[in-house]
Amino acid sequence: MKKVIVIGSGIAGLACSATCAKKGMQVLLLSPAPSERSQSVMASGGINAVLPGGEPGDNVESHIEDTLRGGRYLSGKRAVTGLCQSAGQILQDLERIGTVFSVDAAGAPKRRAFGGQSHKRTFYCGASTGKQIVTALIMEARKYESRGLIERRLWCHFYKALLREGVCYGAMIFDEKKKQLETVTADALVIATGGQNSLFGKTTGSNMCDGYAVGRLFMQGVALKNLEFIQYHPTTIETAQKKMLISEAVRGEGGRLFYETNGRRVYFMEEKYGPRGNLMTRDVISREIFLAPGPVYLDISFLGKKAIDEKLPEVKEVCAKYRGIDICREPIPVVPSVHFFMGGIAVHNNHETDMKGLFAVGECASMYHGANRLGGNSLLAAIHSGRTAANAIADEAAERVMREEDFSSELAGEQARLEMSMASKSPFPVMYIRDMLAETMQRSLGIIRDEAGISAGLEDVDYYLSVANRISYDGSVSAYHNFSLTGILTLAKAALLSAKARKESRGAHCRSDYPEEDENYACATIVSYDGGSYTVSFDKEHAYES
């Protein structure tokens, strides 16, 4: 029986695990915290699909075209076609396993408009789409758990992959409770660790998504793709701990963005882009808000209390709770915030990396969203990619031959290094460096960047890396926060180098010194690492783009 390790138990990890188990494989699903605490549960807006009964003229072809255009034609057409073609089946399967989508009085599923889409095709479950899908997938996973096909283990962090000559044999993991490393071998390793939010400090997402696994794999020779494409969500509100998302659903329901001059409201998106201006893609709206001459507000009050209570209850609650604003009577002050990562681990269409047996799925992989993701496409991509990887693993003929004992000296070496650093009591400001890194990233990879700012960011990160390499240990934070630092900093440097290399503006990558889209850059950015040296390349013929 094939054995698969899945790291990360959000929607992508759960979807992959359930599909592997369904195909008769044995799955070990590892994460530090339960699925109920993954970032996936935060998704509220919805999931895209074309199903019968939609708006006249909508079809899978237009979903494909919207996705490709929204991503400024950097996503692989074959991959996007597969994604959109599978969407209808995915929604039906989700419903079958217990996801309850919102329906109208006649029992027909409701759809809402989302940015950058030519038709209403975003299905939702009240205000808790992500939570509902996670719950349904947990129940599906439990079914296989009871048959002994899935084992779920908590308190486990990815440490590194077990690689030999371009083949992956499993993972070294850190058990937070035992404070120990261990090796687990398998026929395939699937990384499903989500985005890179905490690289940027305060964002809309979970600070458990820190990109460490991506950075560590990069240091082990796994190529990364399109890291410069970081999605800023245009509408969030500031709170002390994070930026709370004001869902695109507000604009989907007719919400209007404006700023004020001389007491007059300027509906700048409508003035510049016409009646659908408030539903332009997120990159466009975030830039316009950033460039607005004063504070920007989002008004939905005209919808009325009854409709707001029915359609946008979570937005009403968040605004009242965190800012004391009644959205039925007053506009919401909004600012853009880092929200989603289009870039990540470079994978082929079957979600395998260049390392045989090593797969990446969900937000940590880069595949479907090109230079800018459409709202509602990420939940879809998380499920589709999880299933695609599972199918590919099932189809692979070879079973891997190496076992735990083959990695015992590697394990002993890493454990000794970890114990030595944990024994050191010198105050090493791990969290301070992470805070400084977040400031650097916000400054250098903001909504609008330029060469000077990116170079300054690189200097900062090189300095943090030089401090981190004089490794010591901060006993006031977890061992994970200590050992993950270098991987996170290395990923940050790779993102800055990718942004520096792309001398054009496209989607979420906007350079004031290269303001135009340039056909020479109509290809993916691939960054690789070899013994401390970083290489960024743009290869139009590269397999990742097919």
Ligand X SMILES: Cc1cc2nc3c(=O)[nH]c(=O)nc-3n(C[C@H](O)[C@H](O)[C@H](O)COP(=O)(O)OP(=O)(O)OC[C@H]3O[C@@H](n4cnc5c(N)ncnc54)[C@H](O)[C@@H]3O)c2cc1C
Site string for ligand X, 376-395 (x = CB under 6 A): xxxx--x-------------
Is residue 486 a contact point for ligand X (CB under 6 A)? no
Which residue in the set 17, 38, 486, 490 belongs to the binding site for ligand X (CB under 6 A)? 38
Which residue in the set 200, 218, 268, 340 belongs to the binding site for ligand X (CB under 6 A)? 340
Rounded CA-CA distance 492/480 in Å is: 18
User: Shortest Cβ distance from residue 205 to ligand X (Å)?
Assistant: 4
Rounded CA-CA distance 166/154 in Å is: 29
Considering the complex, state which of residue 19 and residue 193 has its C-beta at the smaller distance from ligand X: 193
Considering the complex, state which of residue 327 and residue 536 has its C-beta at the smaller distance from ligand X: 327
What does the DSSP assignment read for 156-206?
EEEEEEEEETTEEEEEEEEETTTTEEEEEE-SEEEE-----GGGGSS-SS-
Length of the chain equals 546
Is residue 67 a contact point for ligand X (CB under 6 A)? no
From the number of C-beta atoms within 10 Å of its C-beta (0-12, 13-18, 19+), residue 88 rates as: middle
Stretch of 252-260, 324-332, 373-381, 418-426 contacting ligand X, by CB under 6 A: 373-381
Could you identify the residue written with the tokens 């990360």? Answer: 8
- Tell me, yes or no, if 37 is annotated catalytic: no
Query: E strand or H helix at 435, and its extent?
Result: helix 430-444
**Helices and strands in the chain: count of H runs, count of E runs:** 16, 24
CB 509 within 8 A of CB 494: no
- Residue of 121, 216, 282, 511 marked active site: 282
User: Shortest Cβ distance from residue 153 to ligand X (Å)?
Assistant: 10
Which residue in the set 5, 6, 7, 327 belongs to the binding site for ligand X (CB under 6 A)? 7
CB 35 within 8 A of CB 110: no
What does the DSSP assignment read for 274-315?
-TTGGGS-HHHHHHHHHHSSS-EEEE-GGG-HHHHHHH-HHH
User: What one-letter code names the amino acid at 254?
Assistant: G
Site string for ligand X, 190-209 (x = CB under 6 A): --xxx---------xx--xx
Which residue in the set 9, 132, 231, 444 belongs to the binding site for ligand X (CB under 6 A)? 9
Is residue 12 a contact point for ligand X (CB under 6 A)? yes
User: Shortest Cβ distance from residue 370 to ligand X (Å)?
Assistant: 15
Site string for ligand X, 233-252 (x = CB under 6 A): ------------x-------
- Which residues sit at the interface with ligand X, rule CB under 6 A? 7-13, 31-33, 38-40, 42-47, 129-130, 157-158, 192-194, 204-205, 208-209, 212-213, 245, 340, 362-363, 375-379, 382
Active-site positions read 282
